[in-house]
Chain A
């Protein structure tokens, strides 16, 4: 029953779909590049950033990775450009620029 779901797409015939549309994989949202949807893009200023990490938990798409207690640059593959991080930043370290970039 377990099939390679990466072979399934919107053109797949019914016979090729899984039973009950079960998805035989974990973390498949990583493969779905929602960054393509972006019409505005956050720009990160590492000089102004105080590493308070207020931006990380407010990102709806988890696109602000934290490494060794410090935030990294944005995950542009998945950032949809909503701008919430810009509003949350007390130090002006995040600015939204028009365009998907």
Chain B
């Protein structure tokens, strides 16, 4: 039986960690994810779980220790944000290329500079090509549900890749909201026991993890890693289907909100998707056929599926909570427009950068973007790489 409760996003993830009770959790605190290791430590101190918690001296060490523990055969995880993720960089690639199914609870926060503690996606988007599966949450419920699904996805023998479970710093991590929690036993049963086939602390079955590879082997290894990422798509769907069967809440690679007949679609990630849905409801009441495509899984990138979902609309706003500094759009815009082109879907597309470093994204902002989309579809010419919510001398 699901239990109605209310808690913050950080509390929800810590609660899920307690239920999963992983073997090892090395962590180093950083705002806004600090509460996660803090709450887990309390659970351990209170005897409610028996995870081996390792207080380390940096995030480079927390990810190194997580990699080491996972390779040794322990179900392992850590949590971080922002510069902490940046400091893990090298180890993120090691985790993925060594095919270690560990899990990282990421609470999204902007990267310096300017130094700032608030939300945007520059941390996880910066790590988008490290070989990790990335799943994003709109609210606390999804942060909880995605975390529970992370281990079965990562540990599936077709995948064996690390999973980053992302939620928006402060916006969901520190906001108390309603949530449905599942019974400990049900969560444990869903996640299952971890029995790796090959691991370091396995007497009589020696194995070397992460050996040097000469060029004759490296390219094949990277290709194989990419194949695992491609296979993870079906595993993510299967795990979501099992989750729905057990707990009743369904998930896809992306959610389509009122897009079936939509002329204008906003493609967006994370907590702002809820705000965009509210805008869509208002606009629909006023006669505009608006919709939201909320991307849940950014890695693997569902390129074909997105092109298929967008091909019949008149215009799409691709929303990046992150700058690429490339002069023509954020990472999501780059990947979505490439997906549209590769799949021969000719749709008017506008790239928007929004919400950097905690800049608020409101229903009004979303409505303004839909208005611009309708103008773009009618042929009005304007820059297709735009900022929203920015102060300029000319105004918006």
**A residues near B160, Cβ cutoff 8 Å:** 19-20
Distance of A11 Cα from B220 Cα, bound (Å): 11
Q: Are A21 and B221 in contact (CB under 8 A)?
A: yes
The closest CB in chain A to the CB of B222 belongs to A14
0 or 1 for each of A4-23: is its CB under 8 Å from B? (1 = yes):
00000010111001011111
**B residues near A27, Cβ cutoff 8 Å:** 206
**B residues near A20, Cβ cutoff 8 Å:** 97-100, 160, 209-210, 221, 225
How many B residues touch A, CB cutoff 8 Å? 24
Which residues of B does A touch, CB under 8 Å?
Answer: 97-100, 157, 160, 197-198, 205-211, 213-214, 216-217, 220-221, 223-225
Judge whether A1 is part of the interface by a CB distance below 8 angstroms.
yes
The closest CB in chain A to the CB of B99 belongs to A20
Q: Are B197 and A21 in contact (CB under 8 A)?
A: no
Task: Tell me, rounded to whole Å, the shortest Cβ–Cβ distance linking B93 to chain A.
Answer: 12
7 contacts between A and B (CB under 8 A): A2-B205, A14-B221, A14-B223, A19-B224, A21-B213, A21-B221, A23-B211
**B residues near A10, Cβ cutoff 8 Å:** 214, 216-217
Distance of A8 Cα from B207 Cα, bound (Å): 15
Query: Chain A, interface size: which category?
Result: 10 to 19
Task: Tell me, rounded to whole Å, the shortest Cβ–Cβ distance linking A81 to chain B.
Answer: 23
**B residues near A25, Cβ cutoff 8 Å:** 206-208
Distance of A23 Cα from B217 Cα, bound (Å): 13
Chain A 12-46 residues near chain B, CB threshold 8 A: 12-14, 17, 19-28
**A residues near B97, Cβ cutoff 8 Å:** 20
Q: Are A1 and B197 in contact (CB under 8 A)?
A: yes
Contact of B208 among A1, A14, A22 (CB under 8 A): A22
Distance of A1 Cα from B213 Cα, bound (Å): 19
Distance of A12 Cα from B219 Cα, bound (Å): 12
**A residues near B198, Cβ cutoff 8 Å:** 1-2, 22, 24
Q: Are B217 and A26 in contact (CB under 8 A)?
A: no
**B residues near A22, Cβ cutoff 8 Å:** 98-99, 198, 207-209, 211
**A residues near B221, Cβ cutoff 8 Å:** 14, 17, 20-21
Distance of A21 Cα from B222 Cα, bound (Å): 10
| Contact A21 to B206, CB < 8 A, known contacts A1-B197, A14-B224 | no
Contacts A2-B205, A24-B205, A27-B206 given; 16 further ones with Cβ under 8 A?
A1-B197, A1-B198, A2-B198, A10-B214, A10-B216, A14-B221, A20-B97, A20-B98, A20-B209, A20-B221, A21-B210, A22-B209, A23-B207, A23-B208, A23-B211, A28-B208
10 tightest A-B contacts by CB?
A26-B206, A14-B220, A20-B99, A23-B208, A10-B216, A20-B98, A1-B197, A19-B99, A21-B221, A21-B213
**A residues near B197, Cβ cutoff 8 Å:** 1-2
**A residues near B213, Cβ cutoff 8 Å:** 21
Task: Tell me, rounded to whole Å, the shortest Cβ–Cβ distance linking A35 to chain B.
Answer: 20
